[in-house]
Structure formats: structure tokens, C-alpha cells
Amino acid sequence: MGSPPLTDAKTLTRRQFLLGSGAAMLALGTRGARAAATYSSEKPVSAVIFSPQANTLTPEEKTLFRDMNPFGYIISGYLCSSPEKVKNLIDELKSLSGNAHLPVFMDQEGGKTARLRPPFWPAYPPAAIFGALAKKDPQKAALAVYLNARLIGNDLASLGITINIAPVADVAITPSSFGGHSNLGERSYGSDTAIVTALARANAFGLMDSGVLPVLKHIPGLGRSMVDSHKQTPFVTASLKSLRATDFVPFQSLNSLPMAMTSHACYTAIDPENVATESRKVINLIRNEIGFTGLLISDDLQMAALAGDLETRARLALAAGCDVVLVLNPIFADKLQAARGVGPLKEGSLAPIRAALANIKPAPADYDYTLAKNIRNELLASL
């Protein structure tokens, strides 16, 4: 007889690949006392995430960042020309902030939405591939997603990136949402609420077990969008009853995750005048009905779904109830404009992320990533 298959249960147990270890991360309030010492700053933290202009900070950027003390930074694709340059930039940002636990974000889902790309980093499958596998075997798909997230998380953690803006928990209700426009497409796990919930959970646990925090998106659900919010405003006209039955479900199920990102869609049954990011009504629903209590981050403020200049957009998002705004624009003048609309992050908003950062731990040094990759590939090959 030959050796057991890679997916043999005993092999997985022996290699510590079973799902579930990340679940302990959801008890984020259990280490609050320790957390307060983990994320510290002598001056107020500004409620903004900026993207540096290049791999070396300019003098004007250093002055702005030192004066503002942003909540964190996002490493965009144009900054990822080599591992060394990414690491050096993150080291510079941490040194400037004086915070060894500085939140450093990346948007690394897999498929087309990937900032780390070959030849320095591997290509990863899009969410839709795992969703297709889940229709045949939900358990295999969940394991494949978990292992895939462990691999992505290892790539990020090795660079000093602590937070990934994933998983996508949008239920692709409309056909165009799943396979039509370029914004969502392959990024969704599909149209089955149970599958989306299970795979988004597996993704989040895989990231956390690799030492990287997840950001659930796009709350309260972008799966009915008929257009790309990067280019124009999506209007979701479904009834509140329909939204509750489908779109909200994954977000309610995962409402204990530490962070979530808002949708730039307008939900006419809740607030026909404003997109979710700028709607107090929608954000109240996110907090009180969906039950999300973690840090709420806006999607990128430069997207065409929003109106007005960056100062106005930042003010509206924070006034509506977002804790932090994301500004991806690398142009310094645009950073200055956005900065005028940003105030200090409220102490109450810092508490969840303090707890999350205190609970996150590096992955075990002996974790076998080669085996993880092989198992993932074997599972996907069964499609």
C-alpha cells in the first residue's frame, strides 16, 4: 500500500491543519488589560489609513505622518516591487510612528485582487474557485480556503504586514455581481449564503492563525451591486426583508471579527440618499442589527461612488459612524486635503483593535507551508 493521501484526517491532525484554532481569536475581550499596553501612543491617533507615495518617505510625508499620527498605513501594489523594498518601507513607518505594533494593511485576496504578485510572490486562486468546490464538497472547500489563507498570511507576516483586507463576505445575488462587472466578479464565494459564510469564516481563521488580522468586507453586503463602485454609485433596491434574509447573514454570523470595511453602495430601503459609508442609518443598522462591534473602516475614499472632495468625504464618513477612513491616493496634495476632514480616533474605537492586536500571535515556526500548499492544490484538483 502507498502512503496516505494528503487529506487523510490523521495527517492533518498531526500537522495541526484542522480548522478551529482561529475561533479562540474571536474572544477578543478576554485580554483587555494586556491589550492596553500593546497598542500605545503618546499623542492622539488620527482616524485615517494612508498609502505612502513611494518606498522611501519624502520629507513632506514624514512631517505630515509625524504630525497626524495616522491609525495605520496600507501597502498598495505600486509599492511591491521587491520584498526588501516593502520590508524597508514598513520598518521606516514603524520607526517614524514609534509604534512596533503599527497596523499595516494590505488588500491581498487572490485572483485579480492581489498586490503581491509573481515573480517574488505566488499567485493565489480567486474566491470563486473555492465557491465552486463548496458546491461539491463544503468541508473540502472550507479546508482549502483555510490553508490558502494560511499561505497568504505567511506571505504578509514575513513582510511585516499585520492586517489583510479580506475576506469578502458579499453574497452574489445578481448574475452580473458574480461574473459581470470587474469590481466583484471572481471575488465572491458565490450566491449561497451558507457557503459564503463558511468560507469567509475559514479565510478569517486562516489569516489569524498565520498572525494576520482579517477585515470583513463589504458590510452590509455588496452582492446585489450592478455596477462597479470604483466607477459609479451602486444602488441596491432590494427590500429590507430580502437583505436580512441573504446579504446581512454572513456579516451577522461573523460580527465578532475585529474589523470590517463598509460598502460604498446606496441601500434604498434603509437610506435612499446616502451610500453606506456616509449613512448614519446604515451604520446604526450595522452596529445594532447586524451586531458588528469592531473597528469599522471605510472603503477607499477616492472611489467614484462618493461625491465631493476628499475632505468632505472624510468628514461625512466619520460623522456617519465610521471609525477610520481609508485614503489610497498616493498624491501628497490629496493626503493634505483628506487630512483636513480627519479628527482623532475615539478611544472607544481603539479598544477593539487593541484587544485584537494583543491576541494575535505569530504562526508556529514549524508550520509546514509546503504541505499546506500541496493539500490545498489536491483539494482544488478535485473540482
Q: Do 121 and 159 contact (CB within 8 A), yes or no?
A: no
Q: Would you give the DSSP letter of residue 219? A: E
Nearest Cα neighbor of 275 from 218, 234, 310 is 234
Check residue 312 and give left, alpha or beta (phi > 0: left; psi -120 to 50: alpha).
alpha
* 46 neighbors 325 (Cβ within 8 angstroms): no
Q: Which residues are catalytic?
A: 230, 299
Calpha distance 215→66 (Å, rounded): 26
Q: How many CB atoms lie within 10 A of CB 162?
A: 21
Measured distance CA(338)–CA(261) in Å, rounded: 18
Three-class secondary structure assignment of 49-104: EECCCCCCCCHHHHHHHHHHCEEEEECCHHHCCCHHHHHHHHHHHHHHHCCCCCCE
Task: Report helix, strand or coil for 256.
Answer: coil
Residue 15 in contact with residue 335, Cβ under 8 Å?
A: no
CA dihedral for 147, 121, 156, 47, sign (positive or negative): negative
110: region left, alpha or beta (phi > 0 left; psi from -120 to 50 alpha): left
